Amino acid sequence: MTIENLSSNRSFGGWHKQYRHQSESINCEMRFAIYLPPQTALGEKVPALYWLSGLTCTDENFMQKAGAQQFAARLGMALVAPDTSPRGDAVADDEGYDLGQGAGFYVNATEAPWSRHYHMYDYVLDELPKLVESLFPVSGERALAGHSMGGHGALVLALRNPERYRSVSAFSPIANPVNCPWGRKAFTAYLGGDTAGWEEYDASVLMRQATAKVPALVDQGEADDFLAEQLKPEMLEAAAAASDYPLQLRRREGYDHSYYFIASFIDEHLRFHARHLGL
């Protein structure tokens, strides 16, 4: 597979690198970023935390704003951040910020014109880890985290594939997309009108039904403008109670939906994952 290095930056004794490659599952060029901690310079394979970003974001938002590299360097953990959707002139798009490019929702689209490229679920689950683990000193021990739309994606991927991940965490996830405007708009476009099929991508529905369980941590800001209409953490709490799911959901007074919130608690999330990754 051809992979092109776009940038390299020294960071906390390790390296932040950005790459572009041709994706088979997405059917276009995709970009991702990886932080390799200093332990990899000694030939040591390290576990990886895959971070899924939210609406309008790229791979750059988390890597530039969260301040995670310093903690990953201490823990010996790689960070991998894919883009949030396919990109390019040939890729379907929409005028709204919450559909199309920058808004892949981590689903496998079944409806035209989205189904040609929008297979972010397969990309994050299979293609990207295979690529990363074949080219970099990264082991097959994986954790997932994300923010907002990416928090939704992280929870769904972990809930549907508990054997693939040691832990999952999220900031301000879209917890019940079948019952919020963002989710209903995206799922109608990408998955069609059969709402029963939407539930395969709803963390609250999946958590209520879960038997195999991945330790989960969620932080939600109480001053989040999207809290009541779009995020619905109470639905995730109810689902966890119904299935006795190992979910820790913390409500943070005064915090909003921004990366100021993420940067405030990202160290706790990385330490949470480190424990489950055996670091």
Instruction: Assess whether 148 carries a catalytic annotation.
Output: yes
Nearest to 207, CA basis, from 235, 249, 172, 170: 235
- Note the pLDDT tens digit of each residue in 187-243: 999 999 999 999 999 999 999 999 999 999 999 999 999 999 999 999 999 999 999
What's residue 42's pLDDT?
A: 85
Indicate if the pLDDT at residue 62 is higher than 80: yes
Which candidate in 83, 202, 219, 224 is catalytic? 224
Q: Quote the CA–CA distance of 57 and 80 in Å, as a whole number.
A: 15
Which candidate in 117, 257, 269, 276 is catalytic? 257
Indicate if the pLDDT at residue 1 is higher than 70: no
- Tell me which residue has tokens 């994952």: 273
Instruction: Assess whether 117 carries a catalytic annotation.
Output: no
Whether the predicted model's global pTM rises above the 0.85 cut: yes
Which candidate in 23, 53, 85, 148 is catalytic? 148
What's residue 2's pLDDT?
A: 83
In order, the DSSP letters of 103-165 are B-TT-B--STTGGGT-BHHHIIIIIHHHHHHHHSSEEEEEEEEEETHHHHHHHHHHHH-TTT-
Is the Cβ–Cβ distance between 42 and 55 less than 8 Å? no
Residue with more model confidence, 43 or 232: 232
Q: Can you list the domains of the chain with their CATH numbers?
A: 3-277 (3.40.50.1820)
